[in-house]
Amino acid sequence: MKTNSILKAVIFFSLLSRSSFAEEINILQMQTMLKNKISVYQQAKQYNMWENIPTNLNINLLESSPYVSDIKNHLAINGEYKNYNDQTVNFSEELSIALKRYQENNSLNPTGLLNKETIQSLNKPMSSTIFELSKNLERLNTYSFSGNYILINIPFYNLDIVYEDKIAYQMSVIVGKSRTQSCTLDSKITSIVFNPSWYVPKSIARSEMIPKLYKNPSYFEKHNIHILNSEKDDISVDDAINEDSSNLKFVQYPGNNNALGKVKFIFQNDCGIYLHDTNQRNLFTKDTKGLSHGCIRLSNPDLLAKYLLFYNDFNESQINNYLSLKNTKTVNLNKSFDIHIIYLNSYVNSNNEIVSTKDIYNKNK
């Protein structure tokens, strides 16, 4: 019912301390805008509308330079500069605002001033941009989602909580390294585990845990990691060294050192991944967040847990009780929640601007 939908939105925003919805996500519109932007770049390339800007150009606010017209042209084609009739060569405040917007859209330091890194980005060959946009369009054409869902875009390191096709909240995430990539998928979150144990996957056990038995045996006690033999008995490091390493299993029980933090979110997938909290909060301050073995770490897992429990009609008292638990507790969700993990490193936003970041998994080949 619409009334229930409105009520949910009101309560949800009281949790988020937000007053209004953000940008709408419309796949068909995104596809159309990306196609149109590719066409704009193709025409600009055809008519040689792209002039490189000297990387050593030094120009300050309100100063003049013949290269200002080239900067405006670049930003107009990309979408940030809207004053198409401006023929002046002054580095105006209006141009500085557009340049800052471009920097924000391209994961650059948003100063609104020219620097070598920004100029190098502006000078990216048109053919490269067309190729990159086309590759992202190919992927975008395979995606389909609407309504209420969780959306994770791997190269941008972000998670969106989407309510009625609008981004209600966004948080940072840590994704897999290039050699242990997070996978793209469509699934449903079916349960939440509070105070989870970490059962170390075989690949990590083989590559990291077993070598530590010999090189750094104190690691296991320090990090509260227990070693189990083939009979699932808890054994010492000394005993483990004498065991067949292929029979060993490693488990980290709940606690402050637990790699999964206080909560994890379960959904069916063929990659063996899940979303979870982390005990390494400092990693969210890094620019590059491709740091995990494939699972995705959340900067605000409590908020996601609150929303999913609320969505499943738990009351505030029940939600706070789960969040304050010290023992392990699995909560199955009667109403599963859609999750989509995608890979777009370039797209066109609602302002008709290209938003781009590094292709961390080299998908644009």
pLDDT of residue 48: 80
Average pLDDT over residues 88-114: 95
pLDDT tens digits along 153-195? 999 999 999 988 989 899 999 999 999 999 999 999 999 999 9
The token duo for 275 is: 């979303």
pLDDT of residue 253: 92
d(CA 260, CA 256): 10
Q: Is the pLDDT of residue 205 over 60?
A: yes
Instruction: State the DSSP H helix or E strand holding residue 308, giving kind and residue range, or none if neither.
Output: helix 301-311
- Percentage, residues of the chain above pLDDT 90: 75
Residue 148 pLDDT grade (very low, low, confident, very high; cuts 50, 70, 90): very high
CATH 2.60.120.260 describes domain 2-25+134-197+257-356: no
Q: Is the pLDDT of residue 215 over 70?
A: yes
d(CA 344, CA 354): 12
pLDDT of residue 232: 87
The token duo for 174 is: 């840590």
DSSP E strands in the chain: the ranges are 149-153, 158-163, 166-176, 185-194, 198-199, 225-228, 234-235, 249-252, 263-267, 275-276, 290-292, 296-298, 329-342, 346-348, 354-356
CB atoms within 10 A of CB 79: 21
Token pair 């605000």 is found at 300
Average pLDDT over residues 285-298: 96
pLDDT tens digits along 4-42? 544 554 455 555 544 344 678 999 999 999 999 999 999
SS3 226: strand
The angle that helices 27-46 and 68-78 make with each other, rounded to 10 degrees, is 140
CB atoms within 10 A of CB 196: 24
The token duo for 72 is: 């405006």
Q: Residue 320: what are its φ and ψ, rounded to 5°? A: -65, -35
The token duo for 356 is: 């781009």
Q: Residue 186: what are its φ and ψ, rounded to 5°? A: -125, 125
> Which residues are CB-neighbours of 332 under 8 A, at least 6 positions away?
190, 191
Residue 1 pLDDT grade (very low, low, confident, very high; cuts 50, 70, 90): very low
pLDDT of residue 242: 86
Q: Where are the domains of the chain?
A: 2-25+134-197+257-356, 27-133, 199-252
d(CA 225, CA 229): 13
pLDDT of residue 63: 93
d(CA 299, CA 319): 19
Sign of CA dihedral 351, 184, 18, 189: positive
pLDDT tens digits along 107-142? 999 999 999 999 999 999 999 999 999 999 999 999
Average pLDDT over residues 288-301: 96
Q: Is the pLDDT of residue 230 over 90?
A: no
